Structure 1
Amino acid sequence: MLTLGLDMNDDSLAGTPKRVAKMFVKELFSGLKPMDNEHSSFDNKYNYGEMLIEKNITLYSTCEHHFLPIVGKAHVGYISNGKVIGLSKINRIVNNFSKRPQVQERLTIQIVREMQKNLKTQNVACIIDAKHLCVNSRGIKDTASSTITAEFGGEFKNKEVKENFLNYIQLGTIFH
């Protein structure tokens, strides 16, 4: 802040260094703390054998190259081989890996690997569509572009299963 020539005696800036440090540690990079890696999975007692998808999971991350925000949506699906996971746990996994300095490619893979570990199946897919403020607000300043990454495991590598997943995440959901 001193390098920027900001007056650190100004009342509005006096606590800023501490606030910024606290924001990074407790909020933006809270995913760097070890998480409860074993998210509760349960026996699939209903024998549900089709795809389960949690879509439009809001994610906020930070580009590790520029420390600027990444904002987007994750779509995560799995096909049970005997285990299911609480729906909110999927959102928590996305949130945890998002809350750290990150690149989108690695984030996508980390989400899939964590789901595979917890569900004890390879049948997991994740697609992320996100805006990178390092692209949108600096350099090229392309405000319309977004970045899409995908990782497919197990049955999701099958063309028909992958197409079904892609079709499902495009469905519009309207709640009244």
Structure 2
Amino acid sequence: MSEEKKIEKIEKHFFHIMEILGLDMNDDSLRKTPKRVAKMFIREIFSGLDPKNTPNFSIFENKYKYNQMLIEKNITVYSTCEHHFLPIIGKAHVGYISNGKVAGLSKINRIVNFYAKRPQVQERLTIQIVQSLKKMLETKDVACIIEAKHLCVNSRGIRDTDSSTITTELIGAFKKDSEIRKEFLHHIGIS
């Protein structure tokens, strides 16, 4: 289905949801909300569902023979809980050890963003980031830790605004070598 057709269909359905909620759809403040929501869903917060938005990766030969871990920390995560369609907001910390290839630094952020831009659970998001980097960089040594607040916990149900969720996916040396794991945790501020 085309992007425009998806927007059109979501707009119609969201209009009905707003009507069911008892909102005055003739109010000039609300009249264009269904279209705004539909465009936001398709072009922004769920853009990771469209394979054409997969980031192009700039992969380079590791000419410098850098053989230590590379870490991109505090990557902003905006996602959506697939259980309640409420925001997940946090930070991802991603590291890898080169096996002959390195990525352009912004590409790590783009991978996090791509997988976050879909209805998600944090556990799956963490695994998807690691598996994507493992494949693209052809290395078995990748780590990702995400700490995030789930608005489904913070604003409804238990309404606990202080809690956050931490998920980890450590593979290769990050999982097997306690010194490498310790160094990664130290660098991202968890030790």
Q: CA deviation at 1:36?
A: 3.7
What residue ranges of structure 1 are gaps of 5+ in the alignment?
172-176
> Deviating runs (4+, > 2 A) in structure 1?
35-38
Counterpart code for 2:142 = V
Please tell me whether residue 87 in structure 1 is matched to residue 109 in structure 2: no
Larger fraction in helix: 2
1:94-113 to structure 2, matched below 5 A, reads 94-113=112-131
Q: 1:19 aligns with which of 36, 44, 54?
A: 36
Is 130-139 or 33-42 further displaced after alignment? 33-42
Post-superposition CA distance 1:35-77 (Å, at most 9, x none): 3465121110000000100000001000000000000000000
Q: CA RMSD in A?
A: 1.1
Structure 1 partner of 2:89: 71
Q: Secondary structure at the match of 1:131?
A: strand
Partners in 2 of 1:55 and 1:161 — Cα distance?
A: 16
Structure 1 partner of 2:180: 161
Does the 8 Å CA contact 2:55/2:114 hold for their aligned counterparts?
Answer: no
Partners in 2 of 1:86 and 1:37 — Cα distance?
A: 12
Partners in 1 of 2:110 and 2:146 — Cα distance?
A: 15
Does the 8 Å CA contact 1:31/1:96 hold for their aligned counterparts?
Answer: yes
* Greater relative contact order structure (CA < 8 Å, 6+ sep): 1
Aligned length: 171
Partners in 1 of 2:56 and 2:160 — Cα distance?
A: 40
- How high is the sequence identity, in percent, across the aligned residues? 71
Does the 8 Å CA contact 2:55/2:110 hold for their aligned counterparts?
Answer: no
Does the 8 Å CA contact 1:124/1:152 hold for their aligned counterparts?
Answer: yes
Does the 8 Å CA contact 1:38/1:118 hold for their aligned counterparts?
Answer: no
Counterpart code for 2:26 = N
Does the 8 Å CA contact 1:67/1:101 hold for their aligned counterparts?
Answer: yes
Partners in 1 of 2:158 and 2:54 — Cα distance?
A: 39
What residue ranges of structure 2 are gaps of 5+ in the alignment?
1-17
Structure 1 partner of 2:8: none
Scaled by the length of structure 1, the TM-score of the pair is 0.95
Partners in 2 of 1:155 and 1:38 — Cα distance?
A: 27
Scaled by the length of structure 2, the TM-score of the pair is 0.87
Partners in 2 of 1:49 and 1:29 — Cα distance?
A: 36
